Amino acid sequence: MKILHTSDWHLGHTLYNYDRTEEQQDMLKQMVDIVVEQKPDVFLLCGDVYHTSQPSASVQTMLANALVRIHDAHPQMAIIMTAGNHDSGSKHEIFRIPWQALKVYAIGQIEKEDFDKHIIFIPGKGYVIAIPYAYERNIPEGFFKQLLDRVAQLNTEGLPVVMTAHTTVKGCDFTGHDQATDLTVGGIDSFEIEKFGDGFDYLALGHIHREQFVHTGKHNVRYCGTPLPVSFDEQFPHSVSIVEIGKHGDTPQVEKIEIVNPKPLVTLPTEGLATWDGAKELLSKYPNDIPAYIRLNVQIEDFLPAEAFAEAASLTVGKQCRLCHINTKRQSVSRSETRVMTVQEFQEVDPIEIAIRYAESQGITFDDDMEKMFKEVMRMVNDDERNDK
Ligand SMILES: [Mn+2]
């Protein structure tokens, strides 16, 4: 069985209010080309199809058109698409039945009773157990094992078994995720890898944006990573994974195919921090004809002048690059700092840093327990917001 493993498309994502439709269309075109060339048996899209649970009409059209083109590129292929934490699980399944006409299987929600919804048989090739966004509280005890046992019963031919989920497993590399604000990544909602049981030949994961194998000693648990960077912190190559498994029990063979972003996310300086004047110089020297999104990393002692962003943005006039963000790091944070923040500063700082500052101003030590409680509350707030949509 040959699988194209991808996840975290985040269609509809805007970067500091810049529309990214062109890049996303380009990425989708590259997906079609890879399918034409590789002819996989299964196309696995493991969650975070959209960036928000309420994508616009044009973004939904972009996905639907892309799925048709991907199907047309190799009509025998099954396309299995699960919902991630950014997607609405119920909306993901609206067109579940009509999509099946194009061998597109849309799985948005965990079905505790109907296992067959999660088990997709690819005749003569293998089985895929498709699980959308999974975290401890929405997975019934023994759920993975029951699914694997069911497939073991069915799989009399010894065909490869693939399981897919959108989740965090303990011990993976979070590089690229801001753990203070991306609370579904930070550890509260993460699974021990043992929870998935055994009986699968490959565990295809989505959610973590850096491609990686998760260390299990078996070389068969993998995040494929994002095809397009979602944040400036994703300073690593982006790709899809082509996975081949001969028969049940074999070790999967994995090859990466890089996805090229026509408009890269560039941080200046590329390493470390520059002074404010140094950062402006780097920006004014940036080549006129290279399209890119730019973030500046600036070392400051206090705060940047209020007009700093406009000043830096004016340096990009006549260039193809766009300034997105000025990231500031203070040389030393004074513990007794009581200076009032501007609205812009307030929006740029992580919520947890604001909580720490507030605690300090009240003479309270913000210890590990406090941090844990704060993150738990943030997670509950985020969950509520998601469920309201
Ligand atoms: Mn994601």
Q: Are residues 35 and 121 in the same domain?
A: yes
Contacts of 273 (CB under 8 A, 6+ apart): 297, 298, 299, 329
Q: Are residues 193 and 288 in the same domain?
A: no
Output the pLDDT for position 379.
79
The length of the chain, given as a count of residues: 389
Output the pLDDT for position 361.
75
Output the pLDDT for position 192.
87
Regions of the chain short of the pLDDT cut 70? 179-189, 332-340, 344, 348, 385-389
Task: Count CA atoms within 13 Å of residue 387 on its CB side.
Answer: 6
Output the pLDDT for position 227.
98
| 107 CA → ligand 1 middle, Å | 17
User: What's the rounded Cα separation, in Å, for the pair 273 and 311?
Assistant: 19
Q: Are residues 71 and 114 in the same domain?
A: yes
| Cα maximum dimension of the chain | 69
| 288 CA → ligand 1 middle, Å | 32
What DSSP string runs through 301-319? Answer: SS---TTHHHHHHHTTTTS
Number of domains in the chain: 2
| 31 CA → ligand 1 middle, Å | 18
Contacts of 364 (CB under 8 A, 6+ apart): 370
Q: Are residues 319 and 245 in the same domain?
A: no
| 125 CA → ligand 1 middle, Å | 29
Residue 26: is it exposed, middle or buried by C-beta count within 10 angstroms (0-12/13-18/19+)? middle
| 386 CA → ligand 1 middle, Å | 14
Q: How are the residues of the chain apportioned to helix, strand and coil, as percentages rounded to the nearest 5? A: 30, 25, 45
| 113 CA → ligand 1 middle, Å | 27
Q: Which of 258, 285, 311 is the last residue of a domain?
A: 258
Q: Are residues 247 and 304 in the same domain?
A: no
Q: Are residues 123 and 191 in the same domain?
A: yes
Contact criterion met (CB below 8 Å) for 82 and 117: no
| 368 CA → ligand 1 middle, Å | 27
Output the pLDDT for position 330.
81
Could you tell me the two tokens for 284? 């004014």
Q: Are residues 6 and 120 in the same domain?
A: yes
Q: Are residues 251 and 145 in the same domain?
A: yes
What DSSP string runs through 243-311? Answer: EE--STTPPPEEEEEEPPPSS-EEEESSSS-B-HHHHHHHHHHS-TT--EEEEEEEEESS---TTHHHH
Output the pLDDT for position 339.
62
| 182 CA → ligand 1 middle, Å | 10
Give whole-number Cα distances, 33 to 4, 21, 294, 324, in Å: 12, 18, 29, 31
Q: Are residues 114 and 232 in the same domain?
A: yes
Output the pLDDT for position 387.
61
Q: Are residues 74 and 182 in the same domain?
A: yes
Output the pLDDT for position 333.
53
Question: Which range of residues forms the domain containing residue 44?
Answer: 2-258
Specify the 3-state DSSP secondary structure of 389: coil
Output the pLDDT for position 132.
96
Output the pLDDT for position 376.
83
Q: Which of 225, 258, 291 is the last residue of a domain?
A: 258
Question: Which CATH number is 93's domain given?
Answer: 3.60.21.10
| 307 CA → ligand 1 middle, Å | 33
| 154 CA → ligand 1 middle, Å | 33
What DSSP string runs through 14-49? Answer: -BTTB--HHHHHHHHHHHHHHHHHH--SEEEEES--
Q: Which of 236, 258, 280 is the last residue of a domain?
A: 258
Based on its alpha-carbon atoms, the radius of gyration of the chain, rounded to whole angstroms, reads 23
Output the pLDDT for position 23.
97
Q: Are residues 339 and 363 in the same domain?
A: yes
